Amino acid sequence: MPSGKGVAVTNGDRAVRKARPLTRAEMQRQTREEVLNAAEALFLAGGYRDTTVAQIAVAAGRTQGAIYANFAGKEYLCLEVLQRRALTILGEVVAKLGSAGSTVDDKVETILETWGVLSQDVGVITLAADYILATRSDPEQQAALTGQIKALKALIGVAVSANLTVSVSVAQVDRVVTALLTTFSGLAFGQATGLVTAAEAGEVLEDTLRVWITSLESGAAAAALG
């Protein structure tokens, strides 16, 4: 028992005393994350058209004013939800490719396994299609979407270059990324709507991957000989 005057200070007291209030920037980041988390859950459950800013505000425990202070509107909020989800997926794919074997077959197998899991996420696929259809006549949203796709393609290009077994030009990488992104999107939508089965989508994806790999390897070999 402590002797003398004063009160004993516990570790809990020290922790409270050391805690500092969040800065304005930290509070804003926290608000954005809470709003994005709430919005993602509602968008995936109810779709883009039927989800309102008022519902998101209630779910996030924020006012509508707080949401509009961080996002220009529901359209931009949905686009950021989709961007965040896309970056998470890309990060998972890159991580799995990094731990996969070094052969082409290893890489293809890893992509196909990852695709098999991701393509089952019908909620995100449907949300993306819903958002695109709802905003297709809005020039501002189309410009924002184009910018997000351009940034995503650049990140995918880095991942593609890092996992190729041959040296290729930037233009070739761009063509590969465009082809793969288009294939992924089309197959995801087709599978979500029942146009193709999971097995059929996997076969088409594998064929596409191997065609591009063969094309790049042939081009690199021709360039080396010439």
Domain assignment present for residue 98? The answer is yes
Shared domain for 109 and 203, answered yes or no, is: yes
Taking 70 as the pLDDT cut, the residues of the chain under it are 1-19, 220-226
Check residue 225 and give its pLDDT. 64
Domain assignment present for residue 5? The answer is no
Check residue 67 and give its pLDDT. 93
Q: Which of 71, 102, 137 is the last residue of a domain?
A: 71
The C-alpha atoms of residue 185 and residue 203 are separated, in whole angstroms, by 15
Q: Which of 71, 90, 110 is the last residue of a domain?
A: 71
Shared domain for 219 and 121, answered yes or no, is: yes
Report the chain's C-alpha Rg in angstroms: 24
Shared domain for 110 and 86, answered yes or no, is: yes
Shared domain for 130 and 18, answered yes or no, is: no
Here the CATH number for the domain that contains residue 56 is 1.10.10.60
Check residue 1 and give its pLDDT. 47
Domain assignment present for residue 8? The answer is no
pLDDT in tens, 134-166: 999 999 999 999 999 999 999 999 988 888 777
Predicted model pTM: 0.80
Shared domain for 118 and 192, answered yes or no, is: yes
Check residue 54 and give its pLDDT. 96
Residues in the chain: 226
Q: Which two tokens stand for residue 192?
A: 């979500």
Check residue 17 and give its pLDDT. 55
Shared domain for 46 and 146, answered yes or no, is: no
Structural domain span for residue 43: 13-71
Domain assignment present for residue 1? The answer is no
Here the CATH number for the domain that contains residue 161 is 1.10.357.10
Shared domain for 117 and 195, answered yes or no, is: yes
> How many folded domains does the chain comprise?
2
The full 3-state SS of the chain, as one line of letters, equals CCCCCCCCCCHHHHHHHHCCCCCHHHHHHHHHHHHHHHHHHHHHHHCCCCCCHHHHHHHHCCCHHHHHHHCCCHHHHHHHHHHHHHHHHHHHHHHHHHHCCCCHHHHHHHHHHHHHHHCCCHHHHHHHHHHHHHCCCCHHHHHHHHHHHHHHHHHHHHHHHHHCCCCCCHHHHHHHHHHHHHHHHHHHHHHHCCCCCHHHHHHHHHHHHHHHHHHHHHHHHHHHHC
